Amino acid sequence: MAKIPELKSQYIWLVVLIVYVVPVLTPIGAPFEMSDITIEIWNFIEDLPEGSIVVIGGAYVFAFDLESSAALIACLKQMARNGLRVVNAPFAVEAVQFHKYCIDAARVDEKQGGPWKYGRDYVQLPYMPGGSAAYVAFLEDVHSAVSTDVAGTPLSELPLMNDFHNYEDVAVWVCPHWAFDQVVRYAVSERNVPGIYFAQAAAYAGYSPYMMMYPGMVWMTNGFLGGAQYEKLEGVPGLGYAVVDAYAIMSAVYIIFVVLGNITMLSKMGEEGEEMEEI
């Protein structure tokens, strides 16, 4: 019987690494199912009047928020394309860095060739401590809740902030963070501000009932798949595409390894049988 080469673990992990890295460098566009809710979100943003103010913010946890960035980055590109304005409102310390990462990754700032000018089209506020009280204060009177942007520039010197006073000026609140329940309670439920949640997959099941409680007011995407769906709608393959591609290819590779592993096992059993017969 022909000898089957042994499947060494280092070779298996090398293949796994390549499978994960290649889609990041060159997304192949593996097929995936579109969500009607993701389409509704894209259409909602698409239909907002030029100059509308969108608040992006919430709290917790940078490690999980990367999963939300796929949809948010594509949405930022859409908002910049349509002349919308964004106020990043962080209610957790690490949210400031996350907002900057997404703005940079979307390349919407004029310094990166985008249409947005800081202060006129988007503003990054500093961390606002206080939890629930901070949300309420911000929604009721922005300029009383926070006096400067993250760099210490007075809000009165930023043209966008002169048009933003309270919740009545907010077209929609986009949350790419874990604590969407705070947004739903204080913005959606109490002040009738629509809410969009670019949810991590782990949070989607827990927060999805809000869509049934507030139909036409609350929408959610689901993890990296939701990000890939949004990227497809906007025509900008990115992190969501890369992850979905990696999952699809890796699923096929796992099956191949299982088959090869079983062939190797059966081959060894055959060799042992022959040795026993010779004895």
- With respect to residue 153, please indicate whether it lies within any of the assigned structural domains: yes
Please write the tens of the pLDDT for every residue from 101-154.
999 999 999 999 999 999 999 999 999 999 999 999 999 999 999 999 999 999
Residues 58 and 108 in one domain: yes
Q: Tell me which residue has tokens 């992190």.
A: 239
pTM of the model: 0.82
Residues 68 and 126 in one domain: yes
Please write the tens of the pLDDT for every residue from 65-114.
788 899 999 999 999 999 999 999 999 888 899 999 999 999 999 999 99
Residues 222 and 272 in one domain: no
Residues 126 and 86 in one domain: yes
- Range with lowest mean pLDDT among 70-74, 156-160, 229-233, 271-275: 271-275
The more confident residue out of 177 and 44 is 44
Contact 198, 224 (CB under 8 A): no
Q: Find the mean pLDDT for residues 226-230.
A: 92
Contact 193, 173 (CB under 8 A): yes
> In the chain, how long is the greatest CA-to-CA distance?
93
Please write the tens of the pLDDT for every residue from 179-218.
899 999 999 999 999 999 999 988 898 999 999 999 999 9
Tally of domains within the chain: 2
Residues 213 and 112 in one domain: yes
pLDDT score recorded for residue 1: 47
The more confident residue out of 72 and 238 is 72
Residues 216 and 277 in one domain: no
- With respect to residue 243, please indicate whether it lies within any of the assigned structural domains: no
Residues 3 and 79 in one domain: no
Residues 215 and 257 in one domain: no
The more confident residue out of 40 and 15 is 40
Q: Cα separation of 65 and 47, whole Å?
A: 26
Residues 181 and 67 in one domain: yes
CATH code, domain with 74 = 3.40.50
- With respect to residue 72, please indicate whether it lies within any of the assigned structural domains: yes
Contact 150, 123 (CB under 8 A): no
Residues 259 and 174 in one domain: no
- With respect to residue 58, please indicate whether it lies within any of the assigned structural domains: yes
Q: Which domain holds residue 186?
A: 32-236
- With respect to residue 227, please indicate whether it lies within any of the assigned structural domains: yes
Residues 184 and 87 in one domain: yes
Residues 125 and 258 in one domain: no
Reported confidence tier of residue 3, pLDDT bands at 50, 70, 90: low
- With respect to residue 253, please indicate whether it lies within any of the assigned structural domains: yes
- With respect to residue 241, please indicate whether it lies within any of the assigned structural domains: no
Q: Determine phi and psi for 216, rounding to 5 degrees.
A: 75, 5
- With respect to residue 242, please indicate whether it lies within any of the assigned structural domains: no
